[in-house]
Amino acid sequence: MVIEDQRASWPEEVIELDELQSNVYLDLFQGAGWEGVRRRLADGGQVVTDEEARKILRYFVDRGLAFEDEGRYVSLALEVDPYRRKLVDGREVAASR
């Protein structure tokens, strides 16, 4: 997954997530606690420790890509209008403003 961050209050950048990070982030669209994320990953064959799951979730919060409240996390990225997609280094990415 590639996120093109163009928020006014953050540095503009392209953030590339690996497969594990992408799977975690996609789980956060529905909101989840770290145990739920870890359990869904395990169900899909990706086993992570509590520490690994918390580290990934903290990364998203620290980058402003997710919000955490009382141990529940929600992603802050929005699904992009397909007409606003563009190519970056030969790959299609979401362009949001």
Q: Where is 56: in which H helix or E strand? A: helix 50-62
Q: Residue 90, Cβ neighbours under 10 Å: how many?
A: 5
Give the pLDDT confidence of 42-83 residue by residue, as tens digits.
998 998 988 898 899 999 999 989 999 999 999 988 766 555
- Averaged pLDDT score across all residues of the chain: 82
93 beta partners? 86
Q: Is 5 helix (H, G, I), strand (E, B) or coil?
A: strand
User: Is the pTM here over 0.85, yes or no?
Assistant: no
Which domains are delineated in the chain?
Answer: 13-79 (1.10.10.10)
> Which residues touch 52 (CB under 8 Å, ≥6 apart)?
none
